[in-house]
Structure 1
Amino acid sequence: MKSRLSDIEIAQSTDLKPIAEVARQLSIDDEELECFGCTKAKISLKIFERLKDKPDGKVILVTSINPTPAGEGKSTVTVGLSQALWQAGRQSIVALREPSLGPTMGLKGGAAGGGYAQVLPMDDINLHFTGDMHAITSANNALAAFIDNHIHQGNELNIDIRKIVWKRTLDLNDRALRETVIALGGKANGFPREDGFDITVASEIMAVLCLATDLDDLKKRLAAMIVAYTADQKPVTVEMLGVQGALALLLKDAIKPNLVQTIEGTPALVHGGPFANIAHGANSLIATKMAAKLADYVVTEAGFGADLGAEKFMHIKTRAGGFTPGAVVIVATVRALKMHGGASAEDLKKEGLEPLKKGIENLEKHIETISAFGLPYVVAVNRFVHDTEKELETVLGWCRDHGHPAALCNVWEEGGKGGLDLAKEVIHVLENKDHQFSYLYELTDSVEDKLAKVSRIVYGAEGVKLTEKAKKQLQEIKKNGLGNLPVCVAKTQYSLSDDPEKTGRPKDFFITVRELKPSAGAGFIVALTGSILTMPGLPKRPAALQMDVDENGRAKGLF
């Protein structure tokens, strides 16, 4: 057994390959690589032209059960599976989202995998990395300034200042900025109005960057974003302000995927980071499609459980990219299943077969969801140190009894070696299981039907209810010709329902949509449910309290 060092201690004890050497594993030409020091690089989009005739590799999506405070290790499994595929003799790239500083310094700490299944350099990736988050924040806030300046300079577009829907952003958790008043101090400072901030990863510009197929598509999507409405409720777009070119200029480097490496020196693309309980929760489409041109297998993840990340991956990302996943991995842990079965956090270190058996209902629902899309899958039982053999066998035995392919996974402790059984199962379903991928709704369905189908099939709800406010917004969406967009439900990650307290597999409930917001540039309609916030707050004891830097500039406390 390897010593139980912290994630950052493991990362800092690893000798990294020069990034040019990692690129050579994928036959990336030197002129296609833009290095940020020795261990990070961006890849030019020109590579698509060179590789246009090369067949795409197979995409493996990693999702999970509903998360709990016990943790599932989905990112760790994603990285470990890619490492295991290399050990099994298959060329693979792991494609992940970029961590947000908000969760990094808030509740979760670092978010680049863990143990011996990490992407490196972990401290850089979790902090400023190559500046993508800053570029998105700058573009977002530049647009906010352009809107206020347009109004101050005469308001040619007749924007109703009470109907400006574009918020400023910050890539931190800061509850004090959710609701603000701006432009105080007299006429020279503009027109006073209520405003607010979103976290950067919840911004539409983040979603636009992650769903764009190239620079031209990025400009078109930026131009289509709705920023305000006129007094007679007509939408005002970025194109009407004429600043889509300026925004694209700020994003011209951020659109290029970032190449790094795993702890075993295998390639990783880390690019884009939309929240999954607010936005669509997947890394950039460009990075996924580039990885598919560069390797035989692409292992990527979607945020949180299959009810959020995987559903949006299927309905939003694959539609935008015109591709189909080859297989899905559903991550589950004994301890999280026990919590879904009613066990308390204090009891997780004790054997608990009864709550475990009850909690398996949550896993069962997510398997049903992936099956509804017609995709083959493998259950990855991610091992934690306090799991007993009886508990592990309970989950694996249930999978066997019900005909669900499954494998035990121990990549945190053993790296790729600990994921070889999972890799073999994934390769088997990829090469031997036929599938007929299908969406759960058509774009021509009404918005109400789309929401109802997702609620019933994915969440297990009786149906969906719209508040009066949402009903009014829906009429405006239809009037503006946006009813054919897919829906992106903003919902708690902790439950299949919109109530975070209803764990396991709740029954006899409805999903209540309190607000509908068109994201015309990203190409979806956001449906806000429950108490989901687009600017999170910090917990009582933020992860930042453990963070520091030593006299040599080495990061400490990033988990």
Structure 2
Amino acid sequence: MAVKSDIEIARAATKRPIQDIGAKLGIHSDDLVPYGHDKAKVSQRLIDAVQDRPDGKLILVTAINPTPAGEGKTTTTVGLGDGLNAIGKKAVVCIREASLGPCFGMKGGAAGGGYAQVIPMEDMNLHFTGDFHAITSAHNLLAAMIDNHVYWGNTLDIDIRRVVWRRVMDMNDRALRQITASLGGVANGFPREAGFDITVASEVMAILCLARNLADLQKRLGDIIVAYRRDKTPVYCRDLKADGAMTVLLKDALQPNLVQTLENNPAFVHGGPFANIAHGCNSVTATTTALKLADYVVTEAGFGADLGAEKFMNIKCRKAGIAPACVVVVATVRAMKMNGGVAKADLGFENVAAVQAGCANLGRHIENVKSFGVPVIVAINHFVSDTEAEVDAVKAYVASQGSEALLCKHWAQGSAGIIDLATRVAEIADLDAANFAPIYPDAMPLFDKMQTIAQKIYRADGVIADDKIRDQLAQWENQGYGHLPVCMAKTQYSFTTDPERRGAPTGFTIPVREVRLSAGAGFIVAICGEIMTMPGLPRVPSAETIMLNEDGQIEGLF
């Protein structure tokens, strides 16, 4: 029998009215702002009303470095949420929204897969409730107001050579990485170099995902540094009086989106910063609200634990005052074999030795996550080609690392295939054994924070950066930004900056080619190696096969 695609499974699901899903969390229909019948935003009134409640247990799902073999982190996040509900726990899933860039590019959507998905899948992977459009509009309003201010006399004395606020769009378009703006004569302003990032890399996206409420949102927006004067003093968003209008554009986007899983359990889907170029976590508002409404909150951090989990711990938890009670690291037998040197075409053949060799990548992630003082369990996301001997090899390796691994079949079976993991995760979370702490203090110098991440998480020999970058970091420290955490922008495919170096390499350095101050979001971005903040489309983009069928239904999303 042919295996149904993710979109076919999602389309066949029996959805319940979103008011029924809210009722599972004790949310009255008056506190839901419906977007159709199957999705809604949660009102700020409800968010404010539950703040005095105790927090539930926070469970983070992360993974090994992604490979072409697939890992299934979002699928496992959704499956675990369903599994916890299946064993009688009150649980909610918190994940990020999908960017149009990867949906039409190569990576696909962000709603899970198989029988562990969040629905409506098509809406979630496309325009959803318009949050990304609001973020793009707010970001580009500020860009327009910068150039407009310069055009009308430049009373702030902005040095147009030092405008640091780029434009954004939610699409992969390499042609826009570096452009020249304002050509065409006097009426169009002063020509200058400019460029675009993808919306998920926008500081406005980061701010939305870290803001607590509208007042905090507007303050953070006002703190954005957009340019520098000739004397190198910063020009802030509030100096241009753009923060008020930007907040207006974002007022609805700040409210978390409530949807449901295939098994009609609640899920918050909100925010979407990428973990390779931003901080990779869903919004603080969604996570902290979910913790007040449920006994267990299952959330994910983007890509591998070297990026998503590190930033979740060092940035999101630090900023939000939250801590995970348990961390799940997702791995697959196929990915272990690929890390062990097996070509993708040969992954269907049993190769226990390659599995054992590839487990070094998993082991490093386990050790890294444990260094934050939290208990770790491994979820082996099952593929039909996995053999018993290969699964046993992963379990044995994980046991040798002082942890445990459980086989999970949620992709094919939904919650029924992940009961063992759900039971064990709940047991671990209920022990309150976590002793969470970030791996560096606020007071550590910025460059030393980069060194700490490179050495303790990536296992690099250190960071290399030219004097210009070191001087810039020192200048920011002198301006009062030295306490900020660091957000490393790096390839997701390797601990190194070389995407082809799999496994657990040593004997390398991390080159930092640029640093950016996100004063509103509250972190420093270190751009490492060849990572791009505006991705490009692949040779054969997914967009070529996405279309409407004869029944007017969307085909080709995955």
Partner of 2:431 in structure 1? 432
Q: Shift of the alpha carbon at 1:207?
A: 0.3
Distance 1:131 1:49 in 2: 23
Distance 2:29 2:248 in 1: 24
Residues 469 and 515, structure 2, Cα contact 8 Å, conserved in 1: yes
AA aligned to 1:443 is D
Partner of 1:54 in structure 2? 53
Q: What secondary structure does 2:228 align onto?
A: strand
Within 5 Å, which residues of 2 pair with 1:25-104? 25-104=24-103
Distance 1:467 1:426 in 2: 45
Q: What secondary structure does 1:342 align onto?
A: coil
Partner of 2:463 in structure 1? 464
Residues 47 and 289, structure 2, Cα contact 8 Å, conserved in 1: yes
Residues 375 and 436, structure 1, Cα contact 8 Å, conserved in 2: yes
Within 5 Å, which residues of 2 pair with 1:123-522? 123-432=122-431, 434-522=433-521
Residues 467 and 515, structure 1, Cα contact 8 Å, conserved in 2: no
Distance 2:110 2:431 in 1: 33
TM-score by length of 1: 0.98
Q: Shift of the alpha carbon at 1:95?
A: 0.4
Q: What secondary structure does 1:454 align onto?
A: helix
Residues 488 and 526, structure 2, Cα contact 8 Å, conserved in 1: yes
Residues 96 and 110, structure 2, Cα contact 8 Å, conserved in 1: no
Residues 159 and 227, structure 2, Cα contact 8 Å, conserved in 1: yes
Residues 490 and 527, structure 2, Cα contact 8 Å, conserved in 1: yes
Within 5 Å, which residues of 2 pair with 1:18-29? 18-29=17-28
Q: Deviations over 1:290-321 (max 9, x none)?
A: 11111100000000111100000011101111
AA aligned to 1:493 is Q
Partner of 2:12 in structure 1? 13
Q: Shift of the alpha carbon at 1:433?
A: 5.6
Q: Deviations over 1:276-297 (max 9, x none)?
A: 0011000000000011111100
Q: Shift of the alpha carbon at 1:405?
A: 2.0
Residues 325 and 432, structure 2, Cα contact 8 Å, conserved in 1: no
Q: Shift of the alpha carbon at 1:480?
A: 2.2
Distance 1:391 1:191 in 2: 63
Q: Deviations over 1:459-511 (max 9, x none)?
A: 11122221233223223322322111000000110011122121100011111
Distance 1:258 1:57 in 2: 19
CA RMSD of aligned residues (A): 1.1
Q: Shift of the alpha carbon at 1:71?
A: 1.0
AA aligned to 2:530 is S
Q: Give aligned pairs, total.
A: 558
Q: Shift of the alpha carbon at 1:324?
A: 1.0
Residues 341 and 504, structure 1, Cα contact 8 Å, conserved in 2: yes
Q: Deviations over 1:243-276 (max 9, x none)?
A: 1011000000000000000000000000000010
TM-score by length of 2: 0.98
Q: Shift of the alpha carbon at 1:99?
A: 0.5
In structure 2, the CA distance between the partners of 1:343 and 1:433, relative to structure 1 (3 Å rule), is: farther
AA aligned to 1:505 is A
Task: Name segments (4+ residues, structure 1) moved above 6 Å.
Answer: none
AA aligned to 2:381 is N
Residues 82 and 92, structure 1, Cα contact 8 Å, conserved in 2: yes
Partner of 2:546 in structure 1? 547
Q: Shift of the alpha carbon at 1:425?
A: 1.5
Q: Deviations over 1:225-252 (max 9, x none)?
A: 0111111111111011111011000000
Distance 1:473 1:400 in 2: 45
Distance 2:362 2:108 in 1: 26
Task: Using the TM superposition, name which of 421-430 and 358-367 deviates more.
Answer: 421-430
Task: Using the TM superposition, name which of 471-480 and 237-246 deviates more.
Answer: 471-480
AA aligned to 2:474 is Q
Residues 50 and 289, structure 2, Cα contact 8 Å, conserved in 1: no
Task: Using the TM superposition, name which of 7-16 and 461-470 deviates more.
Answer: 461-470
Q: What secondary structure does 1:46 align onto?
A: helix
Task: Using the TM superposition, name which of 464-473 and 434-443 deviates more.
Answer: 464-473
Q: What secondary structure does 1:476 align onto?
A: helix
Distance 2:551 2:136 in 1: 30
AA aligned to 1:384 is F
Q: Deviations over 1:504-540 (max 9, x none)?
A: 0001111111111110000000011010100000001
Distance 1:319 1:475 in 2: 23
Q: Shift of the alpha carbon at 1:30?
A: 1.7
Residues 105 and 543, structure 2, Cα contact 8 Å, conserved in 1: yes
AA aligned to 1:359 is G
Q: Shift of the alpha carbon at 1:3?
A: 5.6
Q: What secondary structure does 2:135 align onto?
A: helix
Q: What secondary structure does 1:527 align onto?
A: strand
Q: Shift of the alpha carbon at 1:49?
A: 2.8
Distance 1:546 1:420 in 2: 36
Q: Shift of the alpha carbon at 1:31?
A: 1.5
Q: Deviations over 1:382-408 (max 9, x none)?
A: 111211111111101222344312211
Residues 111 and 126, structure 1, Cα contact 8 Å, conserved in 2: yes
Residues 99 and 109, structure 2, Cα contact 8 Å, conserved in 1: no
Structure 1: where are the runs of 5+ without partners?
A: none
Residues 405 and 425, structure 1, Cα contact 8 Å, conserved in 2: no
Task: Using the TM superposition, name which of 295-304 and 416-425 deviates more.
Answer: 416-425
AA aligned to 1:354 is A
Q: What secondary structure does 1:544 align onto?
A: helix
Residues 492 and 499, structure 2, Cα contact 8 Å, conserved in 1: yes
AA aligned to 1:471 is R
Q: Deviations over 1:306-349 (max 9, x none)?
A: 11000000111011111111110000111111111111111111
AA aligned to 1:163 is R
Distance 2:179 2:480 in 1: 31
Distance 2:425 2:315 in 1: 24
AA aligned to 2:315 is I
Residues 406 and 425, structure 1, Cα contact 8 Å, conserved in 2: no
Residues 394 and 405, structure 2, Cα contact 8 Å, conserved in 1: no
Residues 473 and 515, structure 1, Cα contact 8 Å, conserved in 2: no
